[in-house]
Structure 1
Amino acid sequence: MDIVERIEQLFVRHGDAPYEGARREAISALEHALQCAQLAEWANADESLVAAAFLHDVGHFLAAEAIARDDRVDDRHEDLALPFLSAGFDASVTEPVRLHVQAKRFLVRVDEHYARQLSPASQHSLALQGGPMDDDQLAAFEALPFARDAVQLRRWDDLAKEPGRRTPSLDWYLALLRDVRERPFLDSKTGIGATSVA
């Protein structure tokens, strides 16, 4: 099955489910993904980062299919998503997804106001994910090629929780994923490109 078809299947199967227990948010997983991608578009992010914004929580769906959800345990959804998304997308999509949890830990450390604006669900998951970064973790994160994209994605993630907001449809972002998958990859640091063979 094509990866975009598989992503569609995951959103159809799990997208209407609310986050449960201490992870509960006011909107569904699909609404959250659509809002996050829309915020990225409004910020004129490139298509890869819009795709990452849309896909950043897809690992929760993979976790739900693999194990029973437990609010007391971090499901490490960012790590679960990496091998799945790497089958169809390059690092400009997968790395911001992989790093968006670390970006939350980074922001809590560097921005004294950030933690206060987190939803109760995000505060709960922050504790499970290790809390604020220490000095070594901070330096290592800042050195990563896609750290800046991950921080921007994290800020959209935090804002994408507004009940009733109108957004483009699931089909709109699935079409964007197909476009991103089919275009040549251009490394943002080196400027060297290659046609994706995924």
Structure 2
Amino acid sequence: MATLDTIARIEQLFIDFGEQPYEGARAESVTALAHALQCAQLAEWAHAEPALVAAAFLHDVGHFLAAEAVARNDHLDDEHEALALPLLARSFGPAVTEPIRLHVQAKRYLVSMDADYFLGLSPASVHSLALQGGTLSPAECAAFEALPHARDAVALRRWDDLAKTPGRPTPTLDYYLAVLRDVAQESAGPAASRPAAASV
């Protein structure tokens, strides 16, 4: 039941906010839904595990939760990478939630380690980078690299940056909601499919 509730909540968030311009007033050239669909598609094209495809699709859901709470302020970091974790952790394990939690730090890491990476960022991403803390120190980069899901977070970040092509065909919202259900079921493990013990 928790999984069904979580997926229904995610679906409603995309219905309510998915057609808004991505990144608020400093809009990208795609909607939030198109961005999520393209990011998940890029993960699939890279033959990522289903959990990482799910993370790619869900990585910006925290923006929707922030928009529900208050009017968006483009001069503040909404910390969207953390906002969605309580919702997502009800049905998904760390293979989904940790790349999401780390994808903003992954951008800061890539900017710190690769001078050319910064040149490829969109204006909206450059703006949000400043709000998110800018570059990391060498010690912070090393600490990030040591995290169990850092590699997946970096992959997600690169798909995130590329998932902004107007009009690109993608699978549908329903398609990726089905992926989420499968991943959530896998996260729940065998116990989720066993009937409850009869009371005596």
**TM-score by structure 1 length?**
0.92
Find 1:143's aligned residue among 133, 143, 146: 146
Q: 8 Å contact 2:43–2:159 — kept in the other structure?
A: yes
Instruction: Give, in whole Å, the separation in 1 of the partners of 2:63 and 2:136.
Output: 23
Compare CA radii of gyration and give the structure with the larger one.
2
SS at match of 1:13: helix
Q: Please state if 1:81 is matched with 2:84.
A: yes
Match of residue 54 from structure 2: 51
Take 2:25 and 2:178, find their aligned partners in 1: how far apart are those partners? 33
In the other structure, the counterpart of 2:178 is 175
Q: 2:123 aligns with which of 98, 117, 120?
A: 120
For residue 195 of structure 1, report the CA deviation from its aligned partner: 4.3
Q: Is the 8 A contact 2:39 2:162 kept in 1?
A: yes
Q: Number of residues paired by the alignment?
A: 188
Q: Aligned to 1:21, what secondary structure does the other structure show?
A: coil
Aligned-pair Cα RMSD in Å: 1.3
Task: Establish whether residue 90 from structure 1 lines up as the match of residue 93 from structure 2.
Answer: yes
C-alpha contact (below 8 Å) 1:52/1:97 kept by paired residues: yes
Which residue number in structure 2 is paired with residue 25 of structure 1?
28
Choose 99-108 or 176-185, whichever is displaced more. Answer: 176-185
SS in 2 for 1:114: helix
Structure 1: 5+ residue stretches without partners: 186-193
What's the counterpart of residue 132 of structure 1? Answer: 135
Determine if contact 2:93/2:187 at 8 Å carries over to the other structure: no
- The answer to whether the 8 A contact 2:81-2:100 is kept is yes
Which of the numbers 96, 99, 102 marks the counterpart of 2:102? 99
Matched-pair contact (CA < 8 Å) for 2:92–2:187: no
Q: Secondary structure at the match of 2:134?
A: coil
Separation in 2 of the partners of 1:27 and 1:196? 40
Letter of the 1:71 partner, please give it: D
Alignment of 1:178-189 (within 5 A): 178-184=181-187
Q: List 4+ stretches of structure 1 deviating above 2 A.
A: 194-197
Specify the SS of the correspondent of 2:115: coil
Are residue 5 (structure 1) and residue 3 (structure 2) matched?
A: no
Q: Could you state the TM-score of these two structures normalised by the residue count of structure 2?
A: 0.91
The answer to which of 133-142 and 85-94 deviates more is 133-142
Matched residue SS, 2:116: coil
Identity %: 64
Shift of 1:136: 2.1
Unaligned runs of 5+ in 2: 193-200
